[in-house]
Amino acid sequence: MHIIKNPSSEKWSDLLKRPTQSLENIESKVNEIFKEVSSKGEQALLKYTQQFDGISLPNLNVSPQEIGEAKNLVPEELQQAIQQAKENITKFHAAQKTGKINVETQKGVQCWQEKRPIQKVGLYIPGGSAPLFSTILMLAIPANLAGCQEIVLCSPPNKEGKLDPAILYTANLCGVTKIFKVGGIQAIAGMTFGTESIPKVYKIFGPGNQFVTVAKQLATKYDVAIDMPAGPSELLVFADETAKTNFVASDLLSQAEHGADSQVILVSTSEKMLQEVKEEVKKQLESLPRKQIATKAIQNFKLILMNTEKSALALINEYAPEHFIVVSKNEDFFIDGIKNAGSVFIGNYTPESAGDYASGTNHTLPTNGFAKQYSGVNLDSFLKSMTFQKIDATGIKNLGKTIELMAEAEGLHAHKNAVSLRLKSLE
């Protein structure tokens, strides 16, 4: 964890590389599993669940009995916390609703846009050492608000062949229609092709490791859309001398504990701040239950000293972080100037954990630099915009000549004729 001082822009590309495997190392395994699930269906899913999760299951379905039992296993206090988070997330996403847009572009020509829900969506919920029931809130709530008819959830089972009670409780609370015990590449393949029990969906949502990310990208070759390439978690913090050192260290470690391939970066114009946070990270790391995972991630920790806030902002926009925390006396400079980030957290008392769980914003965000062209999940992620138009006799008279001239110029005479016939009928 050494401090990198004022790197030139020519070095930014190498400096800001994510600690990810090359696609060549992953794609062959993903293709192999997709091919087998496509041909063998449920049989392949059960095989890979045994291979990767170490459990032999008779089937992948979560029964109503298991869902009922889960509620009794989730502590009342946690249920109340989930309820509060649900209220905030619902409030924020419901506010994103937009109505019908109706415009008469010229006399007799009516154009409008309406939004329709995606009928079948698949939610991937990571499990393993950290069952992310919070991701269900982030995905199922907007799916329900949008009006999706079928909401399918897949999550890897534990060694007892079960899903975490909090996952089942939250899924039931948020209106998930079908739940399956299957994870990883095979879960994405199952929702892509459909199997004896898992429906084929139209769009897949949810974060995951590098294998899940590549699997989602492969799914797009089989007529399935995805939310975004959301892979290993990442956080960049800008902190000046107004930041509280222990807060900054805790935020960095909160991301590092996600997984060994997570990445955390601290940028500052103060070398003293960088040095103090470096020491505080070491100190806090010792008391973490997930110390082993966080320690591996911290190996990718970068501390970067920049001469000016302007150069720091330029570097941050080049990195395009999934999560961006800014603690600065000039916070407006960063708020106004940030162009590429999944979600922004402002000030000493806004931990990234708030967005992960309960403030109201969505935590399913673009990683690996995709914040340059992707948005995080929002209500519109579960909707399609459809346009409509209606032209009456007056409208076709007013617009017809324009269409004829343009169609003829492009050499598309059948297009022109479709208008000419209508105009002639009105003579």
Q: Residue 340 annotated as binding?
A: no
| % of the chain surpassing 70 pLDDT | 99
The CATH number of residue 396's host domain is 1.20.5.1300
Task: Indicate whether 273 and 398 sit together in one domain.
Answer: no
Task: Indicate whether 188 and 291 sit together in one domain.
Answer: no
The CATH number of residue 294's host domain is 3.40.50.1980
Task: Indicate whether 252 and 363 sit together in one domain.
Answer: yes
Tally of domains in the chain = 3
Task: Indicate whether 291 and 364 sit together in one domain.
Answer: yes
User: Does residue 361 sit within a domain?
Assistant: yes
Task: Indicate whether 221 and 240 sit together in one domain.
Answer: no
Q: Residue 374 annotated as binding?
A: no
Question: Considering 197, 227, 257, which residue would you say is the last residue of a domain?
Answer: 227
Strand pairing class (101-106; 109-117): antiparallel
| Per-residue pLDDT tens digits for 5-52 | 999 999 999 999 987 766 677 899 999 999 999 999 999 999 999 999
Q: What's this model's pTM, rounded to 2 decimal places? A: 0.94
- Is 363 designated active site? no
Task: Indicate whether 183 and 264 sit together in one domain.
Answer: no
Q: Residue 186 annotated as binding?
A: yes
Active-site position among 323, 352, 363, 404:
323
Task: Indicate whether 28 and 157 sit together in one domain.
Answer: yes
Report residue 210's pLDDT band, with 50, 70 and 90 as the boundaries: confident
User: Does residue 415 sit within a domain?
Assistant: yes
User: Does residue 302 sit within a domain?
Assistant: yes
> What is the reported pLDDT for 300?
84
| % of the chain surpassing 90 pLDDT | 89
Active-site position among 280, 322, 352, 404:
322
User: Does residue 381 sit within a domain?
Assistant: no
| Per-residue pLDDT tens digits for 276-318 | 999 999 999 999 998 988 898 888 899 999 999 999 999 999 9
User: Does residue 337 sit within a domain?
Assistant: yes
> What is the reported pLDDT for 229?
80
Q: Residue 255 annotated as binding?
A: yes
Q: Residue 415 annotated as binding?
A: yes
User: Does residue 4 sit within a domain?
Assistant: no
User: Does residue 385 sit within a domain?
Assistant: no
Task: Indicate whether 124 and 56 sit together in one domain.
Answer: yes
> Residue written as tokens 């109503």?
64
Task: Indicate whether 71 and 206 sit together in one domain.
Answer: yes
Q: Residue 323 annotated as binding?
A: yes
Question: Considering 227, 262, 277, which residue would you say is the last residue of a domain?
Answer: 227
Report residue 200's pLDDT band, with 50, 70 and 90 as the boundaries: very high
Task: Indicate whether 260 and 173 sit together in one domain.
Answer: no
Task: Indicate whether 184 and 319 sit together in one domain.
Answer: no
User: Domain limits at 300?
Assistant: 232-375
Q: Residue 425 annotated as binding?
A: no
> What is the reported pLDDT for 244?
98
Question: Considering 227, 242, 272, which residue would you say is the last residue of a domain?
Answer: 227
| Per-residue pLDDT tens digits for 344-359 | 999 999 999 999 999 9
> What is the reported pLDDT for 231?
74
| Per-residue pLDDT tens digits for 149-161 | 999 999 999 999 9
Task: Indicate whether 238 and 211 sit together in one domain.
Answer: no
> What is the reported pLDDT for 359?
98
What's the CA angle centered on 354, arms 329 and 225, to 5 degrees?
A: 110
User: Does residue 366 sit within a domain?
Assistant: yes
- Is 323 designated active site? yes
CB 264 within 8 A of CB 298: yes
